[in-house]
Amino acid sequence: MERMYEKNRRIIMEAKLIIENQRQYFQTRATRDIELLKGRLIKLRVEILNRENAIYEALYKDFKKSKFETYFSEIGIVISEIDATLKHINTWSKPKKVRASGLNFPSRDYIYSEPYGCVLVIAPWNYPFQLAIAPVISAIAAGNTVVLKPSEHTRHTSQLLDDILTAVFPTEHLTVIQGGVTETTLLLKERWDYIFFTGSVAVGKIVAKAAAPFLTPLTLELGGKNPCIIDSTMSTQLIAKRLVWGKFVNAGQTCIAPDYLLVHTSIKAQLISDLKLEIIKAYGENPQESEDYPRIVNSKNLARLTNMLQDSEVVFGGVFDTDDCYLAPTLIDEPALDSEVMKDEIFGPILPILSYETEKDIHSVLSHYDKPLGFYVFSNNTTFYKKMIETFSFGGGTINDTMIHFGNPNLPFGGVGESGIGAYHGRLGFDTFSHKKGIVIKGNWLDIPLRYAPYTNKLNALKKLFKFFG
């Protein structure tokens, strides 16, 4: 108890000191020096590429992620984010001229981007490299200082993140604090200027509560039960190929993976048969032997997932190995909505397949759940998929594929309702981490007298002005 108290006291002191140093550094305005920022981002790019093999190794040690998946979903995305930031940072950080209001004539109007100050980024374990560094890039580009708290469940990657970032940034600009619930709880007691959290809905609510007393603005990147609606107008073989990729990449531990399928009854049997074939094509008869198939991050999550198989009809897979944290790609046929697998976000390689006859059935299933982070429709019927996009509320989505909306930095990435607050990527990431100041610069060469008292006989002229310019 005494030791625990001492450890907590040390963490609090350390955090206070780091924040204090970062605030002083922020006051020097060095974090807004674009050339300095570019230099550090270039150095970060070099450090990451120099340690490419170490990154592969760390992710492999953490949950046997393959080099290919590590490159496309961790390293590649981060490098693209750095490149886009380097290319556009000058434009993003300049005051943006906007159309002035005729009511203020004569004036010039601008939006100024101003960094918040000291930002806390809390990252999850499932894409432990990318989901930690991508928000850090945006926060730094926008001129903030950062404290990053990576996940405690992927300790090899978190240590490497610490090494890479420490080699690039002085601590007063960016510091990595490693730790779990205790450390994060203590960090959340401090006053931050912005908090960016990626993780579960339950912890997101804890973070929002901690931010409330200080009115700290925040982004919450959370999860949800992402539906995938499939009508009968597309080749089931193509659907199966794209679904097997989207569901089983990272062993299903992806916040935007399709959580469950809602398939038109007429093609369900064929789709299940094609899914089985595609799983075997991708990972072989025994996926445990495949170099491309990752593991579940820890035994607690494996137990959570295998528990979902208890009251379900497994039609493919279902094999697991506790010692190896392995769970095979698994298909479940027609689970009840109150079964374990349909209660919460699955976040693993289990794909429940439900069927529908009418659009009313689709509504009745989706209405069971909060607004999801991802949403997918496979259909060649434009009217149908447009109706689905417009009818349901969700973070973002892809038609005729899964997850690929994440890869376009021109699209906002974020949730709505229970799946999150706010969005980022590309320019939006920069905007997320900057307060926008609206500025009017009034001209002095003309001073229209209308607005000044006394107002006698001016009301009609005012109405006309509003009609014209308002």
203 lines the binding site for ligand NAD (CB under 6 A): yes
181 lines the binding site for ligand NAD (CB under 6 A): yes
CB of 424 to ligand NAD, least distance (A): 9
Q: Which of 328, 373, 388, 428 binds ligand NAD (CB under 6 A)?
A: 373
Residues 252-281 that bind ligand NAD (CB under 6 A): 255
411 lines the binding site for ligand NAD (CB under 6 A): no
Please identify which residue in the block is written with the tokens 């340690």. Answer: 51
Mapping DSSP to helix (H, G, I), strand (E, B) and coil, where does residue 310 land? coil
Distance of alpha carbon 435 from alpha carbon 117, whole angstroms:
10
CB of 204 to ligand NAD, least distance (A): 7
CA 130 to chain centre: 10
147 lines the binding site for ligand NAD (CB under 6 A): no
12 lines the binding site for ligand NAD (CB under 6 A): no
Residues 23-82 that bind ligand NAD (CB under 6 A): none
Distance of alpha carbon 353 from alpha carbon 344, whole angstroms:
15
CB of 288 to ligand NAD, least distance (A): 23
* Residue with Cβ nearer ligand NAD (145 or 151): 151
User: Measuring CA to CA, how many Å separate 460 from each of 9, 103, 449, 450, 457?
Assistant: 67, 15, 14, 11, 7
> Of all helices (H) and strands (E), which one includes residue 261?
strand 260-264
* Residue with Cβ nearer ligand NAD (144 or 226): 226
CA 462 to chain centre: 48
Q: Give the residue numbers marked as catalytic.
A: 221, 255
Distance of alpha carbon 74 from alpha carbon 129, whole angstroms:
6
Amino acid at position 456, single letter: T
- Alpha-carbon dihedral sign for residues 202, 344, 331, 264: negative
Counting every residue written for the chain, the total comes to: 470
151 lines the binding site for ligand NAD (CB under 6 A): yes
CB of 153 to ligand NAD, least distance (A): 6
* Residue with Cβ nearer ligand NAD (143 or 429): 429
Q: Is the peptide bond before 329 cis (omega within 30 degrees of 0)?
A: no
Q: Taking each helix axis as running N to C, give the angle between helix 52-63 and helix 34-50, from 0 to 180 degrees, rounded to the nearest 10.
A: 60
CB of 177 to ligand NAD, least distance (A): 10
* Residue with Cβ nearer ligand NAD (122 or 332): 122
Residues that bind ligand NAD (CB under 6 A): 122-126, 131, 149, 151-152, 180-181, 184-185, 198-200, 203, 206, 221-223, 255, 345, 347, 373, 415, 420
